[in-house]
Amino acid sequence: MKLQKMRLEDINQVSKLYQEANQFTTVKNIHNWTIEGLNKFPQLNFVIEDGQKIIGAISAILKNKKGAVINDIAVLREYQSKHVGSRLMERLLKELKRQEVKNPNHSRAVRHSLRTAIGDFYSQKWDIKLRSRAAEYKTHFSGIEKITLWVHWKNSRAIPFYYRSGFKMKRVSQTQNIPGVPDGEDIIHLEREL
Ligand SMILES: CC(C)(COP(=O)(O)OP(=O)(O)OC[C@H]1O[C@@H](n2cnc3c(N)ncnc32)[C@H](O)[C@@H]1OP(=O)(O)O)[C@@H](O)C(=O)NCCC(=O)NCCS
């Protein structure tokens, strides 16, 4: 099984995988926020593959200079409880702990997949966009102090998994203005220091 950075061409498979774990919204909504996160923070998205098949993925974003948020993590049902989720989490934490990005061209893989996906004409524009995002990311990517995430009450059996990765429950609130998710559903917020 191979753990690697998520590429643009992984997005469809990954969105379906995330939706199976998070059935409160649609694949389209998940696709939209995952692609936005991948463009903006390519270092914070990973997949694990078994052959050609993506069996697990994790996606995080930086909310501000000090805090990261895990938007989604999921492992295919038949691969659950085999440490795939823990490997993804460890890899993300390692990335967040790095104090600086040494290579500002880190989004080369994403830019390469864009080139193949949409052709040279558009890719030039995207190249510039992604390079400037990489620079923006570099500025933000230092001194992260905490990581947060939330779990819908229906997914609360995942909480022990997060505890093993050092997260603790902080508070309960209700969903509000999350694309496709009904308002007023209880969610549990977890947090850990980096
Ligand atoms: C939660 C999840 C990402 C963990 O990944 P994983 O590879 O199964 O986790 P690991 O093997 O590293 O750790 C195992 C622990 O994860 C948790 N876990 C395992 N299967 C789970 C499931 N179907 N749902 C929720 N948590 C699960 C348990 O605490 C388990 O510990 P145990 O094996 O002692 O019972 C994965 O199980 C999953 O995608 N679950 C379904 C969707 C979900 O709940 N996602 C989280 C939404 S916030």
The residue whose CB lies within 8 Å of the most ligand 1 atoms, and thus the one to mutate among 70, 76, 78, 81, is 81
What is the per-residue pLDDT across 163-187, written as a single tens digit (0 to 9) for each?
999 999 999 999 999 888 889 999 9
Residue at token pair 């996160």: 37
- In percent, how much of the chain has pLDDT > 90? 65
Return d(Cα 14, Cα 117) in angstroms, integer: 17
Q: Which atom of ligand 1 is nearest to the CA of 81?
A: 11
Dump pLDDT digits (tens) for 27-56.
Answer: 999 999 999 999 999 999 999 999 999 999
The rounded Å distance from CA 82 to ligand 1 centre is 9
CATH of domain 2-193: 3.40.630.30
**Furthest-apart CA atoms within the chain: distance in Å:** 48
Edge-to-edge strands, sheet with 146-152? 2-5, 45-50, 53-62, 67-75, 146-152, 186-193, 168-174
Specify the residue with its C-alpha closest to ligand 1, atom 12.
83
Distances in whole angstroms, Cα of residue 124 to Cα of each of 40, 135, 136? 17, 17, 19
The model's pTM is 0.83
Q: For a pocket test of ligand 1, which of 71, 75, 156, 191 has the largest count of ligand atoms closer than 8 A to its C-beta?
A: 75
CA distance readout (Å), 151 to 4, 8, 49, 65, 186: 25, 26, 25, 23, 9
With a 6 Å cutoff on the Cβ, whether 42 touches ligand 1 is: no
Q: How far apart are CA 100 and CA 142, in angstroms?
A: 6
- Smallest Cα–Cα separation from 88: which of 23, 28, 6? 6
What pLDDT, on a 0 to 100 scale, did the predictor assign at position 57? 98
Distance CA 117, CA 120 (A): 9
The response to whether residue 86 sits with its C-beta less than 6 Å from ligand 1 reads yes
- Strand segments (E) across 31-185: 45-50, 53-62, 67-75, 146-152, 168-174
